[in-house]
Structure 1
Amino acid sequence: MKASIKKTISIILPLILGVFLVYYAYNQFTAQQLQEIKLQFQNANYNFIVISTIFSLISLGCRAYRWKYSLNYMGYQSNFPNNFMAVCIGYIMNLTVPRSGEISRALVLKNYKNIPFDKGFGSIISERVIDFVILLLFIFTSLIIQFNTLKDFVLTNIPIEKIIYSLIILTLAGILGIYLLFFTQLKLMVLIRSKIKGLTEGVLSVFKMPQRKAFLFYTFVIWASYVATFYYGMKSISETDSLSIGIIISSFVVGSLAITFTNGGFGAFPLMISQILALYGISMTAGTAVGWILWSSQTAIVIILGGLSFIFLPIFNKKQKIN
């Protein structure tokens, strides 16, 4: 019962936050400004949204294909369709509970390809480690080329003191956790240690696999596709169709962080995009409109492909067994 309550809360709270952010954002607009946002949607060039969508599909396909390298290194085989559908299911799960998609991906391969959960999950974590490093590179690049503008934005919107206090608490908790995990013989800790061994193998697979270059190539394509998705989405409305690459990267970073720390960026993504673009003289109505256009188009892809994956995954694997 307690687990059920916790799961329900983990789903509802992010949604409540998203609804609040939507209300907060639109409560700032007058009726005339809301009409302007509506006109932005009506007058948007949806040809660019189609191009943006194509790059989004490329990133999904490359992520699914890249996954095979770390799995193969550990001695497990999973074909592209299963990997692709697992990735799509992972993304749609992230719309409900943040970061639950990684668990869902590993569970799909455990159920349909009999790949141990800890190994599959470890391979996904290794991907996330690489992706996080690349996101950090984007953040540092953005801070360097747009330092003066972003400095004020960061100081205004991020509570630095609270972050420092949180880091201190997390560090102390981490030290205590490490001691309990590695220096005690409690049954639970012994069990967790055995699981961590499999997880570690999955994480290290990226750095040991023979196909490192291929893995990194597809990683490059994934992130280049992310930026292209964002770039062409920005070109869909007149006020943001000629932004510099520096502004595009800054907006991309802010949008990525909004998606990373919420359930798919619901509410947070358009709000943060409008605020970052406002620093460069883009009206709040245009920034909000392009934020919603980008978020809606990408979320629609996730919902459609994720939903279809739930349907076709068991059908595809049933046919595989028959064959």
Structure 2
Amino acid sequence: MRLSKKQWIQVLVSLAIAIWIFWFLYKDISFQSLVDALRETSFFWIAASIVVSLFGFYLRAWRWKLLIEASEDTSIDTGKSFVALMIGYLTNLLVPRAGEVARCGVVSKMEGNQMGTLIGTVILERTIDLLFMVFTIILAFILENSLFVNLFTDLVSVRGLYEKMLNILPIVIGGGLIAVIFLYLLFQKYKDAGIVKKARHFIRDLVFGLMSLKKVHNQLGFWSSSTAIWVTYYFALLFVAWAIPSTASLSLSSLLMVMVMGSIGMVAPVQGGIGTFHALVAFILMAYGLSNEEGKIFAVIIHTSQVLTIIVTGLICIVFFFKITSEKTSKSL
């Protein structure tokens, strides 16, 4: 996928913001502190987290396969949808949100499916994920309502608010810049459409997309896998928490809140949620009594393990992709 000069500038700006936020968070954390924490970390549980994450990726690929088959009335091997999915995740680490188009391009190249239809399935998939994310946030709020009350009590204190603002000011600035970039891109895409017309189109596409779910033959499998995907997210985080002494004693409901904050951080239009993920996860862990250093070290360990998993698996999938397409080309000659 080729990027224009303007797109490259946008990518570099978002990367610079992500690196800046990450640098601000970790500038006071010594490398030796991280090394000491790794020495106390159980790599058995880290490995278990990676295995669960890979299973979650496979479930996502299988669910996407169901949507593709429903939209085009054709069959696709789950292994190929997994290859495309992981290449998409790898692309997202370089260019935010480009992975969704990249994985559609990979499937189109391997199977000959229409790009428009494939992108429609991805949009529908993301809509379902959004609904599950909202449900997870509501569940976390119900289970951890006392935390929200305590945070609100701290914030209504003028002095406490002033101190917190000083601590998160660079993050707020970075987040503001990301929001400006996002709104600019949104404006450029819909500058010829009125706000009412745009909202109407969005709602119409959303309704049509949800209605198209009726075409999925395996309804039980689709909704079960959608639920299981979020369960794997939770267990992947839980196992990393068990691996690190400072987080091993956290309650199950508090780790659900950590997962919610991490998920919100990953939504930000920066490469791999760099900076935003770490900031939100460290913030909520400090609310549970962990030190600033402990929260940030946990965030960097879980994020790094996930990123390395995506990089290694994505590179392996690229090899399989070239093998599949070369075999397809040779057969057509």
For the aligned pair, the TM-score class normalised by the smaller chain equals 0.7 to 0.9
| Cα 1:10–1:311 shift into 2, 3 Å | farther
Identity of aligned residues (%): 24
Aligned length: 301
- 215, 225, 229: which is aligned to 2:232? 225
Residues 258 and 284 of structure 2 are in contact (CA less than 8 Å); yes or no, is this contact kept in structure 1? Answer: yes
Aligned match of 2:74: 76
In structure 2, relative to structure 1, the CA distance for the partners of 1:282 and 1:214 (3 Å cut) is same
| Residues 1:297 and 2:305 aligned together | yes
2:250 paired residue number:
243
Deviations 1:75-123 (A, max 9, x none): 1322122101100011111112222111111111222211111111111
Cross-structure match for 1:310: 318
Maintained 8 Å contact 2:87/2:314: yes
State the Cα distance separating 1:270 from its structure 2 match.
2.2
Give the 5 Å matches for 1:46-57.
46-57=43-54
Matched AA of 2:21: L
Aligned match of 1:211? 218
Find the aligned partners of 1:273 and 1:301 in 2 and give their Cα distance: 20
After superposition, residues 1-323 of structure 1 pair within 5 angstroms as 4-29=4-29, 35-74=32-71, 75-150=73-148, 152=151, 176=194, 179=197, 204-261=211-268, 262-319=270-327, 322=331
If the length of structure 2 is used for normalisation, what is the TM-score? Answer: 0.80
Aligned 8 A contact 1:233 1:294 in 2: yes
Query: CA deviation digits over 1:244-282, x for unaligned, max 9?
Result: 111100000111111121321212222221111000101
Deviation string for 1:277-314 (max 9, x for gaps)?
00010112111111111011110110111112222202
- Secondary structure of residue in 1 paired with 2:273: coil
RMSD across aligned positions (CA): 3.4
Structure 1, unaligned runs of 5 or more: 183-192
Asked if the contact 1:126–1:202 (Cα under 8 Å) also holds between the matched residues in 2, the reply is yes
The alpha carbon displacement at 1:200 in A equals: 8.3
- Structure-2 change in CA distance of 1:200 and 1:138 (3 Å): closer
What SS does the corresponding residue of 1:228 show, helix, strand or coil?
helix
**Cα shift at 1:39:** 0.9
Q: 1:204 to 1:284 in 2, by over 3 A?
A: same
3-state DSSP class of the match of 2:120?
helix
Q: Which runs of 5+ in 2 are unaligned?
A: 156-163
Secondary structure at 2:288 match in 1:
coil
Question: Is the contact between residue 105 and residue 115 of structure 2 (CA under 8 Å) also seen in structure 1?
Answer: yes
